[in-house]
Amino acid sequence: MVIRIASRGSELALWQSRAVADALRAADSALEVEIEVIRTTGDRIQDVPLAKIGDKGLFTKELDNALLAGEADLAVHSLKDVPTRLPDGLTLAAVTVREDPRDVVLLPPGRAGGLDALEPGARVGTSSLRRVAQLRKLRPDLQLLDLRGNLNTRLAKLDRGEYDAIILAAAGVLRLGWRERISAYLEPPRWLPAVGQGALAIVCRTDRDDIRAALAPLNDPATAAATAAERALLRSLEGGCQIPIGALGLVDEGQVFLAGLVADTDGSRILRVHQAGAAKDAEAVGRAAAGELLAKGAGEILEAVRARVGAPEPAAP
């Protein structure tokens, strides 16, 4: 049996697709696995802030189309990029064991320390409104600049002196072998990552029982439950991947513990919630957390953010 994986072409995306290919071969030595590179809208548009583009399938739409057209058998994504409502005919078939979900601070070579080590007015690069909101709450004196491009491009911009620091997801940095470049980890629950951050999502057609069976050994139940709670929160808020919403679920002894936040982009108002429940009811835990956030005024914050940044509405993953 030959399995064709649809993948973005960045070094990180290819690392992720190769990891899935290796896991498939390990689970069934009879499988042949090929990787097909497909360029997405998010890869093509590099000179516009993500929140301005609109985020519904920004990094997934073209791969989804390849699956639906029968040009590939499965697609590998960073789960944080995957809409919570998949196109008809597609399903989230597996969620892999999660890498470190935290955000990290990277500084130029020879520098050390975290956010507290940055001087007033330091230039910090990030493309995420979620990170912007949390940075403005913690360090309103910093100069926050948009940062686009794949991880290699972002690191090169830092090393050329275009930024004094950049904020990235730990998972991508670690997967590319750059652990030594991490200056500090931004610790939950004070700082929350993107929904699904650190986990890989494997998507296939709903009618491909053969592919779903091949992917079953790759699914990690604990990661699937934790991220299901996070994604239910996001879906209930109709927030979109580029709106300032953060969440982190943890599973322990059959329970899922979920921390979530909604923030205004200027950091003036950050709403936080904590919910817990049975891991088998992970989505209900996420919906309850979203309901608590809405009761605290999250809807007004999200509406104001959309109006300010021009993000499409609802534009929900």
Which residues are tagged catalytic? 81
Token pair 């049975």 is at which residue? 278
Contact 223, 199 (CB under 8 A): yes
Burial class from Cβ neighbours inside 10 Å (0-12, 13-18, 19+) for residue 180 reads: exposed
- Helices 221-237 and 282-295: crossing angle in degrees, nearest 10, is 30
What six digits make up the tokens of 170? Answer: 């730990």
Phi-psi category of residue 106: left, alpha or beta, with phi > 0 → left and psi -120 to 50 → alpha: beta
Strand 32-37 versus strand 2-7 pairing type = parallel
> Which residues, in sequence order, are CB contacts of 6 under 8 Å at separation 6+?
36, 38, 63, 66, 67, 71, 72, 74, 75, 76
CB atoms within 10 A of CB 235: 19
C-beta separation of 45 from 53 below 8 A: yes
Radius of gyration of the chain (CA): 19
Q: Where are the beta strands (DSSP E) in 57-197?
A: 74-78, 90-95, 103-106, 123-125, 143-145, 165-169, 182-186
